Each structure stands twice: as C-alpha cells, then as structure tokens.
Chain A
Amino acid sequence: QQPVQSPQAVILREGEDAVINCSSSKALYSVHWYRQKHGEAPVFLMILLKGGEQKGHDKISASFNEKKQQSSLYLTASQLSYSGTYFCGTDNDETGSSNTGKLIFGQGTTLQVKP
C-alpha cells in the first residue's frame, strides 16, 4: 500500500530541472509532498486534492492524475536549497469521499544539488 517513488536518487547541478514521481496502487483522495533535510522534520510543500489538480509556487509545482493514481513533483531551475529527501504522502480514503489525514509515505527520493 506504500506509494512508490521514482527515482530513488537524483544528482543535479544548480539550474537544472528534476521530476519526482509518486505512484499508488490504491485510489487516492489526496497527495501531499514534503521535503526533509538531514536531522530535521519534513516540511510541507503542497497538497493536491482529488479532481486532478495542478499546483505550483515559485519554481516547484506538482500534478495529480487521479485516474492513473499518480502524482509528479517538478523542480525547475534547482537551487542548492532544494537538496534533501522528498516524500510523497497519500491519503487513501476507502470511500474516496474525504481526507482521513492519515498519510502513507513513499520511500523517499534523495535530491542533491551541486554548485
């Protein structure tokens, strides 16, 4: 039931783009994206709700394909501060009608941005 993230790790140069994918075998109500730096708690990036959303702020955006049960996180013109481990968390409400708040996280994608 754990969503699958790909790739497992990415190494970029500053200014390059990256895409992180999150795929679930269960129907999703929402997908949540977080970034975690070493030794710290995860920081909320964005949530995408059922209905096939796309969302973005600054140079980080995401999409949610409800039918494919997939979400992708897009990082454009990456900065050194983007380094960290990215997690998607899925809310798999059995009825598909509302969020439960209980997130099941993928295994994480480690992103390293080099100067």
Chain B
Amino acid sequence: GAVVSQHPSWVICKSGTSVKIECRSLDFQATTMFWYRQFPKQSLMLMATSNEGSKATYEQGVEKDKFLINHASLTLSTLTVTSAHPEDSSFYICSVGDISYEQYFGPGTRLTVT
C-alpha cells in the first residue's frame, strides 16, 4: 500500500494566523489525494479532493477560501488553514489511494488554535 507522511505532526498557532500542512506520498505518484478532518471522539469528515495540476474540489459546507489546497506535484499536497480560529482546532489527515483502490492515511496533523 501507499506510504504517506504529513508535516508537521502537531502545530499550535494563534488565532488569526495561517498554518500550512504538508501531505506527501512517499512511494506512489498520486494524481488525487484527499483531506479529512476529525474532531475529538467523532468520525472522519471528508473536506476536499486535491487534484494534481488543477483546482481542488470541496465538500459541501467546507469554505474553499479558508482551507486552501495546492497539489503542485504527484507526491505533494498542501492544506493551508487561513485566518485560523479556535473552532478550526482539529486532527487533519490526508489519504492517498493506490491502484487497488485502497486508501492509506498519513499520520495526521493535530492543529490547536489559541
């Protein structure tokens, strides 16, 4: 299966600042990656589909101007949380699918906005 990394593992930022999270596919060229968010004791919620070389597609209710996604290469997608607020504090996880349709998650990034 695909091996996925994320950076940073955790980040604390002040309200109003922006934070960038990287997702890398280490052994698989991914034209598509997915971003999820998970609040404590809740399920994973799909935020957006990151498409290499084109615009991301966002799920209903996700603000595209707040969660900027860039997929500049076949191995890297970035999620930037702009003007972060405490309610954006969450566990952000990316996933990559391999040729067998299996989806593998990165280790996640825990964001805390103070």
Contact = CB atoms under 8 A, between A and B. Distances in A.
A2 B104 CA distance: 20
Q: Interface residues of B toward A: which range?
A: 20 to 34
B10 to A, nearest CB: 10
Q: Is the interface of B mostly helix, strand, loop or mixed?
A: strand
Contacts of B107: 40-41
Interface stretch (B43-51, B63-71, B81-89): B43-51
Contacts of A101: 32, 34, 49, 95, 97, 101, 103
Interface stretch (A10-18, A42-50, A58-66): A42-50
Nearest to B33: A101
B46 A30 contact: no
Interface of B: 1, 32, 34, 42-46, 49, 93, 95, 97, 100-108
